Amino acid sequence: MLQEHGINLHRPFADTLEDGIHELRMKITGNQVRVLYFFCFKDIIVLTHDFVKTTAKVPVREIALAKKYRQDFLKRYNEELARGL
């Protein structure tokens, strides 16, 4: 679904958090599971990590972790390398 709709995927399936970090929203065996991700080089979607959401809002530490992973990814990969993954 994310690949098909990209940045146009919205609630209840996805949401924008902050600073280009997004979340995929799903319920699995009663747990609210979130997968954080970002877009780069126009149409590449990079999934950073997942967690079980236990609070009303996505914890700040999870967003910070996604930003850290994004920074690391962008240091390691230019567009050509990323498209080869």
> Where exactly are the structural domains of the chain?
2-83
CA 42, distance to chain mean position in Å, is: 15
Q: Bridge partners of 32?
A: 27, 53
Cβ-in-10-Å burial (0-12, 13-18, 19+) of 28 comes to exposed
**How does residue 85 score in pLDDT terms, banded at 50, 70 and 90?**
confident
Peptide bond into 12 cis (omega under 30): yes
Side chain identity at 8, as an amino acid letter? N
More confident residue, 84 or 25: 25
Q: What is the pTM of this model?
A: 0.92
What is the tens place of the pLDDT at every residue in 16-58? Answer: 999 999 999 999 999 999 999 999 998 899 999 999 999 999 9
Non-local (6+) Cβ contacts of 8 within 8 A are none
